[in-house]
Amino acid sequence: MDLLKLDCEGAEVAVLEDLAETGWLERVRWVRLEWHGQQNLARVACLLAPTHVFAAHCDSPQQPLGFGLAHSRKVAD
């Protein structure tokens, strides 16, 4: 899969957990997501770390949401 876009209103951790557990996350080249809450940002980063390089952005530390972009650590075929 080239691109996975997640805008699931706080369920991003659950979706990424399921993808990681089933082996699908490592098959995704790019992940574009909106995250909700600092606790979710930390968990998203941990879930993506084994397979992707992840960067996140929010406008302020008090902002309860932001966006992130991750690309696969695998070399393209």
For the chain, the domains span 3-72
Q: What is the pLDDT of residues 48-64, one digit of tens each?
A: 999 999 999 887 767 77
Q: Looking at the domain 3-72, which fold is it?
A: Rossmann fold (3.40.50)
Q: What is the DSSP string of the chain?
A: --EEEE--TT-HHHHHHHHHHHT-GGG-SEEEEEEESHHHHHHHHHHHTTTEEEEEE-SSTT-SEEEEEEEESSPP-
Q: Which residues face 54 on adjacent strands? A: 70
Q: Is the pLDDT of residue 77 over 60?
A: no
Query: Percent of the chain beyond pLDDT 70?
Result: 94
Is 0.85 topped by the overall pTM? yes
Q: For 62-70, what is the mean pLDDT?
A: 85
